[in-house]
A and B are shown apart, each in its own frame.
Chain A
Amino acid sequence: MHGKASTRATFDVSPALPPQQVTLEVDRARQLEYRRWLLVGLVLLAAALFDGWQRSVPVSHGYRLEETHRARADEDAIGRRLRLEIASLRAPARIEWLAINQLHLVAPQRNDSMVIERVVPPQQPPSSVVASR
């Protein structure tokens, strides 16, 4: 115990020493240096973030474009299927079958219709031509 106590150093604060006033001096040059590095760091960080953003944006747009592309292809396929269905529904044989068997229509006989030759009046000449006469 004694040995241990003997190794411990003791320090006395002399009351004769007046408290020193600590004055923090503003080191302008260092501060400037610090801000410069901070700015450089921020710029680098921003550049890194921008780089990451500009890499991810096309990819996310790519996903959206691809989805739009797929949706458009699906719509095209539906459109083509519908056009095919219209063509099937408009088939002359089908219409004739429906007309005769469901609506009980009959084909017009020769006396039921008459083809009359239509004589179309000539086109009116342009006003500029009329004016020049």
Chain B
Amino acid sequence: MAEQPDPRRWRRTAGSRLIVLGVVFAVWSVAVFARLVDLQIFQRAELEARAESQRTNLLEEPAQRGDLLDRNGNVLAYSVDVDTVCAVPSKLDDPTQVAARACDALGDCDDAERAAITKRLSRKSAFAYVRRRVSVDQARRVAALKIDGIHFIKEPRRYYPNRELAAHVLGYVGSENKGLAGLEATYDSKLRGRPGHILLQSDGRKTGRRPFSRVGDPPVPGVTIELTIDETLQHLAERELKAGVEENKAAGGSVVIMDPMSGEIFALANYPTFNPNSYGMFPPEQQRNRGVQDVYEPGSTFKIVTASAALEEKILRPNDVIDTGGGVIAIGSSRTVRDTHAYGALSFTDVIVKSSNIGAIKIGLRLGAERLGRYVQRFGFGTRLSPDFPGESAGIVWRPAQWNESTLASVSMGYEIGVTPLQMAVAASTVANGGELVQPRVVRALIDGGTRTVVPRKVVRRVTTAETTAEMTTIMEGVVERGTATLAKLPDFTIAGKTGTSNKNVDGHYLNQFNASFVGFVPSRKPALTILVMIDSPHSVNGHFGGRVSAPIFQRIADAALRYLGVTPTINPAPPVLVPYRGTGNEIRVAGPAVPLTIIPVANHSSTGQVVLPELRGLSGREALRVLARLGITPRVAGEGIVIEQVPLPGTALEAGGACRLALGRPTPGLHP
């Protein structure tokens, strides 16, 4: 008979197994718990940091560099984000082949660049540039290659849409978006703005991680700078300067056009010039801003200073006679100065009109070194005049105490003194504006976050009285009318100016090369423009005199500039016409700063519920919208700036809720409407 199973044995087996299971479960639970404690307490900080770094990404977002605008709001320098082609060399199988394909797609690689790219891609590093800041087409062609290991990043690139226009004034920025020359360098800290820091939180996907949260400090864009430069006048100056330099087979030249009253520089042109979009391709010689960096002996244009000093000090009057003898004067025992002609006895006026060196020396000798030196300094020579040009030269002026008789004679006729074209233009402007030395400038306003801060006119000092400048103006009119600058004459305008021709001094030796210059202001009795033309080493059949080389260039520039600005002729002007105020043409004086505010009459609500439309022209767009909103009229706005046209015209009765069309525009370029 078989032994009966003991039912308690089963219970013992199950019980022992349950105990084992329980122990295992308990150990497992303790292990899990211990691990959790380890992860959540002991390793918490490290793991949190690791998770944070995987989930979040702190980016520095570059600020948009401020724009450079001309006085009418036209863009002169502008930044755009462009693609930079990068690579992960360690991912590339055949760097040489990749470099070859990338170069073919870029389209303009030379052998040197191809070799450089191949070298960079062969380093097996984690990052390498293929080429920075490529064009849109180039980026598209490289992207079409679909090479694994090639990607793109965005970088800002500075563009100068007018290419060479005002290149020396604007300057350029380097590869790290830092201003290296011109205004880009002077105002780099303002233009650059402040980069932002963005904390991006993204999901954990391996590919194509998508950010879902963005917090932080956004970038502050740079200040936009509105210049006094007028794009059209600048183009005009550059065009005529280039033509003048080529016609006279010269080495180069400069033109300065400025407003003698405010000191605003409308144009500063130099030739040869360069394209700031590709500044690296031009030699430093072409990148030099001759207008403010080149120092030259001004020659007879400097007689403006000598004559002004003599008149101001009442040493001589315009009709006083000066004997220039036979056109020769001995200075000391070893030096003789000759005039081109033997003029004999000349009036003070004619000394300047005929540009007699002997006469100028005699005026200088009567003034003396101390007094002439004082006026040289008062006219701004020997000091940097403008805060806007980083490399501006102060010129070369010896201390009057060190002047001997020979130096005094030389300075009187514009030798042994070094000036810049800008300094000479400012000196002529001082005569034009009634005797005040006004600081020249190219920055008109700074626009920061919608706030426009105007750079005010700055009078450095009074140099001469208005009476002296009036006499000088008459004398300088004679220079153009019957003197050395008849080729500068315009049939419709009176012009005051002075020619200058000086030997070039290189390393202390005078060469048989000349600087031919002309500086003048027009219209002479109500000056709108001061224009200086300086031509370096002319070699053509026109000769080398300022009156034959530079005066015609002045004439062409002045003619076109005055017509562009709509300056009314001063000789035989057409009778003025009375025109209705329609907000077109050069009568839009609301654009000028000195125009009184437009009066807005209280709206008349007629008995029929109609609204009489007020005068809105001259108001800013915002003010006009406010007025219309108050009247319950729907505005339809086109353009930006100031209201220059409104339809219907003021005084028209409109039903409430009717529409009024406003055309907004920028100020007219002329400062003297």
Question: Do A80 and B81 form a contact, CB below 8 Å, given A118-B576, A121-B580?
Answer: yes
- In the complex, what residue of chain B is closest to A82 when comparing beta carbons? B80
Cβ–Cβ contact B74 & A118, under 8 A: no
Cβ–Cβ contact A110 & B599, under 8 A: no
Cβ–Cβ contact A77 & B563, under 8 A: no
Q: How close is A56's CB to chain B, nearest CB, in angstroms?
A: 10
Cβ–Cβ contact A90 & B74, under 8 A: yes
Q: How close is A57's CB to chain B, nearest CB, in angstroms?
A: 11
Cβ–Cβ contact A110 & B78, under 8 A: no
Question: Do A91 and B162 form a contact, CB below 8 Å, given A83-B78, A117-B576?
Answer: yes
Cβ–Cβ contact B159 & A84, under 8 A: yes
Question: Do A113 and B577 form a contact, CB below 8 Å, given A80-B78, A87-B161, A91-B162?
Answer: no
Cα distance, A111 to B576, chains bound together (Å): 18
B594 close to chain A: CB less than 8 A: no
Chain A proximity mask over B252-287: 1 for CB below 8 Å, otherwise 0? 000000000000000000000000000000000000
Indicate which residue in A66, A83, A88, A92 contacts B212 across the interface (CB closer than 8 Å). A66
CB neighbours (8 Å) of A65 from chain B are 214
CB neighbours (8 Å) of A125 from chain B are 599
CB neighbours (8 Å) of B75 from chain A are 83-84, 87
A127 close to chain B: CB less than 8 A: yes
- In the complex, what residue of chain A is closest to B231 when comparing beta carbons? A92
B579 close to chain A: CB less than 8 A: yes
Cα distance, A66 to B214, chains bound together (Å): 8
B44 close to chain A: CB less than 8 A: no
- In the complex, what residue of chain B is closest to A90 when comparing beta carbons? B74
Cβ–Cβ contact B213 & A123, under 8 A: no
Cβ–Cβ contact A117 & B573, under 8 A: yes
Main SS of chain A's interface residues? helix
B598 close to chain A: CB less than 8 A: yes
A72 close to chain B: CB less than 8 A: no
Cα distance, A123 to B597, chains bound together (Å): 11
User: Interface size on B (CB < 8 Å)?
Assistant: 53
Q: How close is A87's CB to chain B, nearest CB, in angstroms?
A: 4
CB neighbours (8 Å) of A69 from chain B are 214
Cα distance, A115 to B212, chains bound together (Å): 63
Question: Do A59 and B78 form a contact, CB below 8 Å, given A92-B231, A117-B573, A119-B579?
Answer: no
A63 close to chain B: CB less than 8 A: yes
Which residues of B from 565 to 608 have beta carbons under 8 Å from A? 566-569, 573-581, 585-587, 589, 598-602, 604
Cβ–Cβ contact A77 & B163, under 8 A: no
B41 close to chain A: CB less than 8 A: no
Question: Do A62 and B213 form a contact, CB below 8 Å, given A110-B559, A115-B563?
Answer: yes
A-B contact count, CB below 8 Å?
Answer: 116
Cα distance, A119 to B673, chains bound together (Å): 10
CB neighbours (8 Å) of A113 from chain B are 563
Which residues of B from 212 to 256 have beta carbons under 8 Å from A? 212-214, 231-232, 235, 239
B136 close to chain A: CB less than 8 A: yes
A32 close to chain B: CB less than 8 A: no
B165 close to chain A: CB less than 8 A: yes
- In the complex, what residue of chain A is closest to B612 when comparing beta carbons? A127
Cα distance, A114 to B162, chains bound together (Å): 30
Question: Do A115 and B566 form a contact, CB below 8 Å, given A88-B161, A121-B581, A123-B598?
Answer: yes
Known: A58-B213, A88-B162. 19 other contacts (CB 8 A): A59-B212, A60-B212, A65-B214, A66-B210, A66-B214, A81-B80, A83-B78, A87-B162, A91-B162, A92-B165, A107-B560, A116-B576, A118-B576, A118-B578, A118-B585, A119-B579, A123-B598, A126-B600, A126-B602
What 8 pairs across the A-B complex have the smallest Cβ distances? A62-B212, A87-B161, A92-B235, A87-B75, A117-B576, A88-B161, A126-B601, A117-B568
Can you offer 20 A-B residue contacts whose CB atoms are under 8 A?
A59-B213, A62-B212, A80-B79, A80-B81, A84-B75, A84-B78, A87-B74, A91-B163, A93-B239, A113-B563, A115-B562, A115-B566, A115-B574, A116-B576, A118-B576, A119-B576, A120-B587, A121-B578, A126-B599, A127-B601
